Amino acid sequence: MPDTIDMIDKILTDMKNVGGVEACAAVSRDGLLIRAIVQNWQFAESFAAMSATMLGAAETATVELGKGIPHRVIVESGQGRLVAVGAGPRALLVVTVDSDTGLGLVLIELEKAAKKLKELLI
């Protein structure tokens, strides 16, 4: 068990080290927090549940419309961005990004990290 957790932590640490990333979390599709690197732990579990719901709702909406599975959900506000991507059938990855950084590199790294997480949890 510690091995898998260590590996998930490694994925999250790498993601957290990408410029502009403030927090990141691995979350199960049904909303349980797997692991996270966040400032405010009290809120991490709710954050996980909300993120899973957002991505799940977005997927349901687009699939029902015949538009396929969305690559990601991006939420923008004055204080920053939140990005959620699916990582296989069991999990998703969520990051929050500050408002000054371009998303380009973050999205590329997030895609890579999601693939790794998917492999780990198969």
Partner 1 sequence: MIKTGIPKLDEFLDGGIPKGKSLVYYMQPGVEGEVFGMQTIYSALKDGGNCVLVASSTIPDITRGQFKEFGWDINQFNNKFISVDAYNPLIGAPSKEKYIVSNPDNIEEFSRIIVDIIKQLPPSTIVFGSLSTIMDLCGERKVIEAVRIWNKMAMLYDHVMVYNFTAWPYSQETLDLMKGELFNAVISIGGIVERVIFGQYFEILKSDWTKEIKRSMLFRVLRPGGIKLYIPKILVTGPFDSGKSTFVHALSTRAISVDRLGTTIALDHGHVDYKGFSADIFGTPGQERFDPIIRLLSGESMGVFLVIDSTNPSDFTRAKQMLKITMSYGLPYVIIANKQDLDGALTPEEVREQFDLPEDVPIIPAVAKDKIGVYEAFEVLIDSVTGGI
Q: Which residues bind partner 1 (CB under 8 A)?
A: 1-2, 4-5, 28-32, 34-35, 42, 45-46, 49-50, 52-54, 56-57, 60, 90-91, 121
Q: Write down the least CB distance from residue 78 to partner 1, Å.
A: 20
Q: Write down the least CB distance from residue 19 to partner 1, Å.
A: 29
C-beta closer to partner 1: residue 17 or 60: 60
C-beta closer to partner 1: residue 63 or 108: 63
- Contact between 96 and 21 (Cβ < 8 Å): yes
List the one residue out of 53, 58, 110, 59 whose CA is nearest residue 81.
Answer: 110
Helix H, strand E, coil C: the string for the chain is: CHHHHHHHHHHHHHHHCCCCEEEEEEEECCCCEEEEECCCHHHHHHHHHHHHHHHHHHHHHHHHCCCCCCCCEEEEECCEEEEEEEECCCEEEEEEECCCCCCHHHHHHHHHHHHHHHHHHC
Q: Write down the least CB distance from residue 29 to partner 1, Å.
A: 7
Q: Write down the least CB distance from residue 121 to partner 1, Å.
A: 7
C-beta closer to partner 1: residue 20 or 45: 45
C-beta closer to partner 1: residue 30 or 76: 30
